């Protein structure tokens, strides 16, 4: 099975190499800002001409928003705009133009209703201080050295890795991987190189081919499995909150940058900002490491994993729980399981958003009208079952996969999912029954939608 996978490694750059990388990132930012200014100028000019009654055939020629169109305009103007263009790789300018082309396409698709999700805004100009420096290479000499501790990139030369690249080197030596691109980026005060690789993955079978597990995520416990296992929530942000708050309060006491007066930040402010950035980066790295270990274990062991389609964006509107919900990273858990079940030959089932997994009795199937968040134990009035509410929800999720297997590939209505939960003072509106169907990748999507995309990622 061929798929795209990313390998990310930390870099140990010298002072000279860091300046070279920053020069390439600056070139990408210059090309992006110039092209964006050109696009805005052409749009404003055409709008003004239309207001004067100029016919469409006599308007100022429009600038094509594709990468090829932006690159053609940049190549014609770069001798005057950037006379130093020969000092950096052409891939640096291509990085900025490609980012702008993607942003313009997302904005146009969002306005036309083609793009799902939140509305995408019009691209903005990139700032030198507020934008993470990044440059992407797609052509030229991109390879891993035989010692597996150095990589070679165009115009940047030989860069030392902070860790061994043996995971990637083994695949390259065996001929089961091919590097498509390499991106150098600074995150949390450290430089990283990320390789996008086309990988030939061997077919795998889960350790328990007939196993079905429901996973109910939460704040008290990060994940409760239908097997009875409860994975504790490490709360990484809460553990580091005191340190992060202390350093965050120390930052405004330094002389920071001021865009209105052109004042530059002091060295103490830059050191304090870097220290605060490293603290946040460490929290993100520790959280990501724990989620990868959990999802990898589940995908390798169980053949079918059932999760809920949570409205995380809506849950974050609760200001009392927003920080804990964001720290738990519910969306990351589902994303990791999406591609890891595909890699390991398993199946991911996503329950309908309105499926009442917590209100349904896992013993008799009775559905409660209301269940307060403070009620941590589920007590069934029909059969007398008393069970932890999260464990009860996980059992119901696991049972949903059995309903799908019984019905085959046709749509299956989730029990009790035909209407929303009643809200105080309001009458719940009727809705179509929630359905789920098996996609071609083995992933079950809510509301009968299927996908042909193969979504992959690595840790």
* Residue 216 a catalytic site member: yes
Q: Is 308 known to be catalytic?
A: yes
- From CA 302, how far away is CA 437, in angstroms rounded? 20
Given a contact cutoff of 8 angstroms between Cβ atoms, the answer to whether 215 and 334 are in contact is no
Q: Which of 20, 91, 327, 390 is catalytic?
A: 390
Is the CB of residue 343 less than 8 Å from the CB of residue 402?
A: no
Residue of 308, 309, 379, 432 marked active site = 308
Distance (Å) of CA 374 to CA 27, 154, 357: 55, 58, 16
Strand partners, 2: 200
Q: Tell me if residue 388 is catalytic.
A: no
Structure tokens at 201: 């993955």
Query: Distance (Å, rounded) from C-alpha 21 to C-alpha 135?
Result: 8
- The first and second tokens of residue 441, run together, are 């990748």
Beta strands in 173-260 (DSSP E): 177-187, 190-200, 208-217, 221-225, 230-232
The DSSP secondary structure of 284-340, one letter per residue, reads: HHHHHHHHHHHHHHHHHHEEEEEEE---HHHHTT-TTTHHHHHHHTHHHHHHHHHHH
Name which of 305, 403, 400 is nearest 356 in CA terms: 400
Task: Please state, in angstroms and rounded to a whole number, the distance separating the CA atoms of residues 379 and 390.
Answer: 12
CA distance 164 to 198: 20
The single residue of 20, 91, 216, 327 carrying the catalytic annotation is: 216
The helix/strand/coil state of 432 is coil
Residue-wise over 257-273: b if at least 16 C-beta within 10 A, else e? eeeeeeeebeeebeebb
CB 396 within 8 A of CB 360: yes
User: Exposure string (b/e) for 12-28, b if CB count within 10 Å is 16 or more?
Assistant: ebeeebeebbbbbbbbb
Within a 13 Å sphere around the CA of 423, how many CA atoms are in the beta-carbon half? 4
Element spanning 308, H or E: strand 302-308
DSSP 327: H
Closest residue by Cα to residue 8 from 206, 181, 224, 245: 181
Contact residues for 315 (Cβ-Cβ < 8 A; gap 6+): 321, 322, 325, 330
Q: How far apart (Å, rounded) are the C-alpha atoms in residues 209 and 395? A: 19
Active site residues: 216, 308, 390
């Amino acid at each position: 099975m061929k798929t795209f996978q990313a390998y990310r490694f930390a870099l140990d750059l010298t002072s000279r190499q860091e300046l070279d990388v920053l020069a390439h990132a600056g070139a990408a930012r210059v090309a992006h800002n110039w092209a964006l200014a050109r696009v805005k100028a052409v749009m404003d000019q055409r709008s003004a001409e239309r207001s004067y009654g100029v016919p469409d055939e006599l308007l100022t020629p429009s600038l094509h928003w594709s990468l090829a169109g932006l690159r053609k305009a940049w190549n014609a103007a770069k001798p005057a705009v950037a006379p130093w263009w020969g000092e950096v790789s052409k891939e640096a300018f291509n990085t900025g133009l490609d980012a702008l082309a993607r942003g313009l396409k997302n904005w146009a698709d969002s306005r036309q209703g083609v793009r799902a999700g939140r509305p995408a805004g019009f691209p903005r100009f990139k700032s030198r201080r507020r934008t993470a420096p990044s440059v992407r290479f797609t052509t030229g000499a991109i390879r891993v050295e035989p010692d597996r501790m150095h990589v070679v990139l165009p115009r940047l030369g030989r860069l030392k890795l902070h860790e061994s690249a043996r995971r990637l080197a083994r695949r390259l030596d065996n001929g089961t991987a091919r590097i498509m691109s390499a991106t150098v980026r600074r995150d949390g005060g450290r430089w990283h190189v990320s390789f996008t690789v086309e990988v030939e993955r061997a077919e795998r079978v889960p350790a328990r081919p007939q196993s079905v597990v429901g996973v109910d995520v939460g704040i008290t416990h990060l994940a409760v499995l239908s097997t009875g296992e409860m994975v504790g929530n490490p709360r990484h942000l809460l553990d580091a909150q005191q340190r992060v708050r202390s350093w965050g309060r120390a930052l405004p006491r330094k002389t920071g940058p001021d865009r209105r007066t052109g004042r530059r930040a002091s060295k103490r402010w830059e050191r304090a900002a870097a220290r605060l950035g490293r603290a946040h980066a460490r929290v993100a790295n520790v959280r990501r490491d724990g989620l990868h270990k959990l999802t990898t274990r589940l995908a390798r062991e169980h053949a079918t994993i059932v999760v809920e389609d949570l409205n995380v964006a809506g849950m974050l509107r609760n200001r009392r729980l927003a920080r804990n919900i964001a720290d738990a990273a519910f969306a990351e858990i589902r994303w990791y399981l999406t591609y890891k079940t595909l890699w390991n030959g398993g199946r991911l089932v996503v329950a309908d958003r309105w499926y009442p997994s917590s209100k349904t009795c896992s013993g008799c199937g009775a559905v409660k009208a209301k269940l307060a968040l403070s009620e941590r134990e589920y007590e069934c009035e029909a059969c007398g079952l008393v069970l932890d509410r999260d464990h009860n929800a996980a059992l119901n999720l696991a049972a949903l996969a059995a309903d799908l297997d019984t019905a085959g590939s046709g749509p299956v209505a989730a029990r009790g999912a035909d209407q929303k939960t009643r809200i105080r003072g309001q009458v719940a509106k009727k809705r179509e029954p929630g359905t789920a169907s098996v996609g071609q990748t083995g992933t079950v999507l809510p509301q009968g939608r299927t996908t042909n995309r193969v979504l992959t990622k690595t840790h």
